[in-house]
Amino acid sequence: MNMITNHLPTAELQALDAAHHMHPFTDNGELAARGARVMTQAKGVWLTDSDGNKIIDGMAGLWCVNIGYGRDELADVAARQIKELCYYNTFFMTTHVPAIALAAKIAELAPGDLNHVFFAGSGSEANDTNIRLVRRYWDIKGHPEKRVFISRKNGYHGSTMGGGSLGGMTYIHAHGGLIDGIVHIGQPHWYAEGGDMTPEAFGLMRAQELEAKILELGVENVAAFIAEPVQGAGGVIIAPSTYWPEIQRIVDKYGILLIADEVITGFGRTGNWFGSETFNIRPHIMTIAKGLSSGYMPIGGSIVCDEIAHTFEGSGDFNHGYTYSGHPVAAAVALENLRIIQEEGIVEHVRNVAHPYLAEQWHSLADHPMVGETKLVGLMGSLALTPNKETRAKFKSEAGKVGFRTRERCFANNLVMRHVGDRMIISPPLVITTDEIDVLMARARKSLDESYAGLKADGMFVAA
Ligand code: PXG
């Protein structure tokens, strides 16, 4: 306890961390040389590090702390649940009150006939569930050959073998390979890949790659299409308006399953409870995690439609599950989180207050000399950095270098704004106030100015 509340000097913590802690998606040699930033406390949208800096968190942790940090209610519920029933499983015909209540609440909130929840510990695990659940579904229906998943390049679905394979990040595939039966089509990323086409024509073309792929593979072999309503980790890529209606048409026409990976877009992020509502998508399955508990506890799941759930009934055991499926403490905390989102009108706050207020300032960044595109849906936004707005040119430097330098300026200015390649992204806690948006934007603009000046000075503001 002491080490957390009254911690060692930063340098000692960094040395211990480097010696014993292997970080995700990190070069530990580089980390050891430089020392990790040590976060010690957080409240609302504000983080405090071990040097006492107050940092505004423009990423809600990793896109998850939707209700903001430090809510006592969640701590109280966790403590109460640990005392009452800290653990029991949901295997072997048993259940418990938190899992029952949470499943029922999710079914109430989810659109359409998405009424059944299979719990997991994370988004990656939930997507692994989806692979097995969907293949088993087609099996039960008498179509065991329907096994192939179609997903998208630069999509992100986690980093387990299943999640990493569904995802279209080649740098993830490079470390450990892919599982079989997963193929990737192009992403609806007009800014980077749309060339001279209009966004609308490009969106349609990319959606039609799904139809072409189904025909190439044979519909009898295709199980499902999985996609994020908005690509998050890929750089907050919001598809052109033509994309999702065409995807829905194709999925309906060929009768394949549609999985909306709502791990980021779920629970208010886009100004509705689910991104599928914002983009008028009708999935058969939704993947959820992150905002389900606002990141206070690790929990995820798959929300499944009536038809799929009923198909499983009477077909024997579905041989799948996790020790922590529906973990009672995580479920109780998630339930309290959903109560707060609902009773405090946080989704409405995003839609009616925070988004419109942020949108005005975010889109005004289009005037900045290095910003080629500004995108924002609800409270997830991106900026494309470019040395030439007219041609949407890439920088001459290695991809991501300019983004990295810009992120470093943000960190120096006590703002967490991430980069994905040479795109800057934000996804702040949904409870952010208009005053806090002013702070976030002032720091973002200052960081962009400093990055731009640095690039000019170093001769790096040059097109490829
Ligand atoms: N699906 C989506 C759409 C995600 O964004 C996952 C699944 C996997 O969830 P878990 O809980 O297993 O991590 C995610 C997670 C990043 C970053 O750098 C994004 C995620 C995770 C870690 C880093 O933007 N998204």
Q: Would you write out the chain's pLDDT as a tens digit for each of its 464 residues?
A: 445 556 889 999 999 999 999 999 999 999 999 999 999 999 999 999 999 999 999 999 999 999 999 999 999 999 999 999 999 999 999 999 999 999 999 999 999 999 999 999 999 999 999 999 999 999 999 999 999 999 999 999 999 999 999 999 999 999 999 999 999 999 999 999 999 999 999 999 999 999 999 999 999 999 999 999 999 999 999 999 999 999 999 999 999 999 999 999 999 999 999 999 999 999 999 999 999 999 999 999 999 999 999 999 999 999 999 999 999 999 999 999 999 999 999 999 999 999 999 999 999 999 999 999 999 999 999 999 999 999 999 999 999 999 999 999 999 999 999 999 999 999 999 999 999 999 999 999 999 999 999 999 999 999 99
Q: Which residues in the chain are classed under CATH 3.90.1150.10?
A: 37-67+345-457
CB 47 within 8 A of CB 39: yes
pTM of the model: 0.97
Atom of ligand 1 nearest to the CA of 124: 12
Report the SS3 class of residue 362: helix
In the CATH scheme, what is the homologous superfamily, with its name and number, of domain 37-67+345-457? Aspartate Aminotransferase, domain 1 (3.90.1150.10)
Per the listing, tokens 């709502």 go with 262
Q: Which residues in the chain are classed under CATH 3.40.640.10?
A: 73-343
The verdict on the CB of residue 157 being under 6 Å from ligand 1 is: yes
CA distance 204 to 200: 6
| CA 386 to ligand 1 center in whole angstroms | 26
The verdict on the CB of residue 263 being under 6 Å from ligand 1 is: yes
Beta bridge partners of 47: 42, 55
The verdict on the CB of residue 269 being under 6 Å from ligand 1 is: no
The verdict on the CB of residue 332 being under 6 Å from ligand 1 is: no
| CA 289 to ligand 1 center in whole angstroms | 9
- Ligand 1 atom 9, closest CA: 123
CATH of domain 73-343: 3.40.640.10
- C-beta neighbour count of 52 within 10 angstroms: 9
CA angle 374–377–379, rounded 5-degree value:
100
Question: What is the maximum span of the chain, computed from C-alpha positions, in angstroms?
Answer: 69
The verdict on the CB of residue 128 being under 6 Å from ligand 1 is: no
Report the SS3 class of residue 42: strand
